[in-house]
Chains A and B, each alone.
Chain A
Amino acid sequence: MDPVVQIIKTGFIKAIKTTLMLMKVVLPIYALVVIIKYSPVMPFLERAFEPAMRIFNLPGDAVVPLITGLFTDEYGAIAAASQFDFTAAELTTVAMIGLVCHSLPVEYALSRKIGLPAGKIVIYRILAAVVVGLIISRLGGVLL
């Protein structure tokens, strides 16, 4: 077979496989976030995290994609983020914090496996995410 066709085929199959694997994560998270969003827990969460989120110029809801991202992966965070009405600047801030600091359990295991100080890396990523959040939230209002 033509190598180019073969490459496209392999890539396509890999994408479908990855998506199927992701569905196992995304669907339950999506369901859970929809339920939380309409349950009495949500106003409580919003109020509890409002002061913390205000540091990053974010509304209280932003805590949902951020926490989801910490424990699952970016796809989970996106599934959660797509359910609230964030502005482009807010989404950019959420994306940056989430991108720097996400899937901590999985990537903790991964860094152990390649022989890195996993605990220190987790602390480093959380700190970096806070710094990034502070910078981007200030910039976002100017640039967007």
Chain B
Amino acid sequence: MTASVPAIINEFLTGSFSTIINVLKVLIPLMILIEFLSVYHVMEKLSKKLTFVTKVLGFSPSAVLPLLVTVVMGVTYGAGTLMEMNEKEPLEKKDFILIAIFFFICHGIIETTAIWGTVGANVIIISAGRLMLAGAITMAAARLPFFKP
């Protein structure tokens, strides 16, 4: 034991309080932004402009929307979009797997990057790095013989 009990309690109270303040600083602007994005259907409009990305990554254009939602807004929103799409017009199995390969590496990019930024990680490396890594793995996976047409 290197610290007394009151010191430990003090550290717990001050530390957890500042963590929660940091989380609030990120979440309040973020949630307002996400509300704007979903009310004005920004993701739908943006996904139409991003169809060229699908060619590079190797999946069909209809998969852009769920991917974009997951990467920008977070995995819960993305899962919601995917489930909705599955009911209306299911994605092809290949596209589905490729989206998963991308978004399990890289999701909720604004939120997670911002909170890690508050504790002192390098924001550019963790966001750009994850996007590039996810892109590279998806591109490679799409071209593997593992997926038969």
Contact = CB atoms under 8 A, between A and B. Distances in A.
Interface of A: 3, 7-8, 10-12, 14-16, 18-19, 22-23, 26-27, 30-31, 34-35, 38-40, 74-75, 78-79, 81-83, 86, 88-89, 91-92, 94-96, 98-100, 107, 110-111, 113-117, 121, 124-125, 128, 132, 136, 139-140, 143-144
B46 interface: no
A46 B21 CA distance: 29
A34 B15 contact: yes
Majority secondary structure, B binding face: helix
13 contacts: A8-B32, A12-B32, A26-B23, A34-B12, A38-B2, A95-B126, A96-B129, A110-B76, A114-B82, A114-B86, A125-B105, A143-B122, A143-B125
Contact of A125 (B31, B104, B119, B126): B104
Interface of B: 1-3, 8, 11-12, 15-16, 18-20, 22-24, 27-28, 30-36, 39, 75-76, 79, 82-83, 86, 96-97, 100-101, 104-105, 112, 115-116, 118-122, 125-126, 129-130, 133, 137
